[in-house]
Structure formats: structure tokens, C-alpha cells
Structure 1
């Protein structure tokens, strides 16, 4: 190995040489002319590449709507889940964007997603949290076609519930057009009179449902207009619920 003597040192590959640091000193070594990989190594590299692309699609689709500050390990944690899943995307169900806090801290009874794309939050006792007068509930639904690497549809609905008061349950319809896997993330954060909490101990965002395309095709098909009309006239959203404009495609 050769020691770097120049004023400007470097690490990494530069042409036929590789720079590296050891105990505060910088050295050079020649880059190998041929890199030999075993069959197992090539398979592992392929799995890692597929999982990384899936992870990036999921994160980019959710980042636009998430208000939680994701912890520094969330990228590696999501990649690891997808690698271990070996193609089973449902393995990310339960994934926390904020590893330390889950939505179960605020909602003791877990919300569920029905077959006709309705988020149901069961009736339950929601205790008050310090100075927070309300809880903001944000449902972020994205549909991803992993074969074409495209986000084909999104829908985001925000509603408010009040801790310490009777809660009889809530149904939120979601309209997510397009083909692909449906991923539903639920974000919960404490709300004060002066706005939402900036304390990460009171903000959670978890993946609560993953429905593959095969399961979606088994459900009864309704057009977007038919379902929107049904909910508009028969089961309207609560007065404190509002919907963001859907993004149909993410480049």
C-alpha cells in the first residue's frame, strides 16, 4: 500500500486506484482488474437492488404527505424488510416511519382496511394526552405498480378526533385509482390550540395495510364515480374530515 502525500486526500475509487483512510492516515491501493462473484453473491446483489428500488418507490410516494420526521434508520429498516420478504410486499405491514412511536400509543384498537377501500377506526376509549386538545388522523393511501415502477394512484384524507370524549368509531372511504399494490399508511399527531405538535414523541406514522393486486381483483369492482356518489349522498364524511387532491402519477 502507498501513503497519500498530497495536500488533497481522497477515499474511494479514482481511476485504477482506490483511496482509503486508516487511523487518520490516507493510503492508496490498486483496484482489482477482475471482480469475481459467486452465484450466491450475484443473487444477493440482485435481491438488494430489487428491494432498494421498491423501498425508494414506497418512500417517495409517502414523503409528499408525511408530517412525521422519519428516524435515521428508516431507510435501512425498510430495505431489510423487503430483502427478507423475498417478493412478499405484505411484509412491510406494520412498518413504522418513526421507530420509537407507533399509532397504538394513540389508538389502542387498531384501524382496519375493508375490501372496498374503506378505512375503519373502531369505537374505543381514547385518553387525553397532556396539553393536546385533539388528534389529527391522516390516512395516506398509495397504489404502486412495482412491475412498471410507477405510483398509479394516491389519496389522502385528514380528520380530527377528540381525546377524552366518547368516540363511536369512524369510516373513511378512500378512492385510489390505478393498478398495483395498495399501501395504506396512517399518521397520528397531537394537536394543540396553536397548531400540531413538533415533538416527535407525539407523532406516529405506521403502514397498517398492504393489499396485493391479486387480492384487489377479487373484490367487487365499483367505478370511482359510483363509489363517490354513494358516499356523498348516503354516508358523508365527518365535518372535520377533508381530502387532499389525488396525485395520479409520480415521475
Structure 2
């Protein structure tokens, strides 16, 4: 890809050239003369579109709650993870998000320059009783950042059903940065079924005249990571019922209370939910 070195960089198409921005750089490429799409390319584009829509929904729900700064690679990293989850569906012709495969998001770091384990040196656990409980063991030194005086930790629950996403945050826990801490628990309300990604955020602070300032934005000492993925489903063995119809029309989603357009088989080859599907058992060999 060519680099733009002019005084006035541009984005978008100008004649046979397309300008675009990646980070702080402005690049340039030419418009292809002809695009030949194979069926595999079209399926891949559809999968990427579904992952992009769900990724945008997750980010828009999470970013207002998140105080740790994320970099410009979050969009691509999250979309790549969602595409891998989508492609694990081997039941439908048109891929769908199956809730149990979202467990692959465990360990996904929103801050790629610092991992939570490297800063905490302990492993938090998550339980789902009377809400979502995040149990953090005792830490010998919550932060090794020399100029930090305190550390603020919060737990965030990110819920999604494939069509809309929303998030809840726990009350923050304030710790002395260089004093051993006691075990504590962060509680988040458990408000919805579906997929819930539990995120633990660790942020260094500096105290001056009794006020805590969040201006120590050193990327190697700020962490936010998915520590658990919880799934609420009515039937964990029925992929047809637990699939998440991301990016589909509301009238095409089974069981949404709206009238179906057709009583015949759907596009993915499955029969309507009102028709019982029986398995075919071959006759025994003689």
C-alpha cells in the first residue's frame, strides 16, 4: 500500500484511487478493475458482516462503562474473534452465533499491552448466585507502578442476545497500591438471559490532597480483560433454539411473536418451530 505524503491527506475515492487512514497514517490504494466473487468469498463476506454488526453492538454497550483506554486495534481483534465463534456453527447453512461457543472469548484483553494476570498475579473466580459475584483473592502488591498511590478495580457484565447489547458495572473497589490487600468480592446485577461476558478492570490512580486522579494512563499498568463467559439458555443441547439470529430481520426469527412469512422450510433448511422434526433411523442390517 502506498503512503500519502502530501500536505492535505484525504480519505475516500478520488478517481481510480482510494485513500484511507490506519492509526495516524494515511495510505493509498487503487480501485480494482474487476472483482470476481466466488460462493466461498460471498459466504465469508456475510460472516464478516454478522461479526461486525455484533462487534459494534458490544463495543457501543461496553465503552461507556469502560475507563481503561483501548487502542485502535480493538475493532479488528474483536471482529476476528467473533468470526471464529460464528464459523464453529456446523448445523445451519447460514452461520449463526451459538451461545456456548462464546466461551472462546474468555481471556480476551481489551488492553493488549497489559494482561490482567501480569499485574495481579492472582486468578479471580466468578459465580452466579444472587447476581454475578467476582471473587478476587488477596494480593501482595496490587500495583507495581511506583508513582501510583491507589488502584481501582471494577467488574463489568456485558450482556448480548445477538440483536442488542447492554452492560452493568459493579461498585469500584479502592486499594492501596503498595500495601497487601484482603480478599474482596465485586457484585453485578444479573439482569438478562443469553451470553454474559464478565470483564475485570484494573486502573492505577494518584491521590493528591484527598482527591483521586485518573491520569496515570500508562498502557503497561492498565488492564481490562474478559475473565469469564456465562451462558443462560433454556436448552443447552438444542442448537436450533439457542442460536442467536444476529443481523436477521425480526420477521424471520422463530419464536419472536411475529407472523412468519412462510410455512415451508426456512432458508437454512430447518423446519418451522411448529412442526416436529423426527430423526430418521435406518433399518437394521440383515
Give the TM-score of the pair, scaled to structure 2: 0.61
Please give the root-mean-square deviation of Cα atoms over the aligned residues, in Å.
Answer: 3.2
CA distance in 1 between partners of 2:182 and 2:196 (Å): 27
Q: Does 1:213 align with 2:232?
A: yes
CA distance in 1, matches of 2:85, 2:121: 27
The separation in 2 between residues aligned to 1:37 and 1:200, in whole angstroms, is: 41
The aligned counterpart of 2:84 is 84
CA displacement 1:220-239 (0-9 Å, x = unmatched): xxxxxxxxxxxxxxxxxxxx
Q: Paired residue for 2:125?
A: 112
CA-to-partner distance for each residue in 1:44-72, whole Å, 9 max, x for gaps? 11110111112111111110011222112
The structure 1 segments of at least 4 consecutive aligned residues displaced by more than 6 Å after TM superposition are: 26-31
Q: Cα offset for 1:114?
A: 0.9
Give, in whole Å, the separation in 1 of the partners of 2:159 and 2:42: 30
Cα shift readout 1:158-193 (whole Å, capped 9, x = no counterpart)? 111223333231112211312321111111111111
1:74·1:97 contact (CA, 8 Å) conserved in 2?
A: yes
Query: Which residue of the other structure, out of 201, 221, 225, is the alignment partner of 2:220?
Result: 201
Distance 1:120 1:216, change over 3 A: farther
Match of 2:152, SS? strand
Looking at secondary structure, tell me which structure has more helix per residue: 1
**Residue 120 of structure 1 contacts residue 171 of structure 1 at CA under 8 Å; is this kept in 2?**
yes
Q: Does 1:93 align with 2:106?
A: yes
Within 2, Cα distance between the matches of 1:43 and 1:89? Answer: 21
Q: How far has the Cα of 1:84 moved from its partner? A: 1.6
- Could you tell me which of 151, 158, 172 is aligned with 2:165? 151
- Hey, what does 1:19 align to over in structure 2? 16
Which segment is superposed worse, 126-135 or 203-212?
126-135
The SS at the match of 1:113 is strand
| Closer/same/farther in 2, CA of residues 42 and 170 from structure 1, 3 Å limit | same
Indicate conservation of the 8 Å contact 1:138/1:159, yes or no. yes
For this pair of structures, how many residues does the alignment match?
Answer: 200
Q: Is the 8 A contact 1:152 1:179 kept in 2?
A: no
Q: Secondary structure at the match of 1:200?
A: coil
Structure 1 residues 43, 177: closer, same or farther in 2, change over 3 A?
Answer: same
TM-score where L is the length of structure 1: 0.68
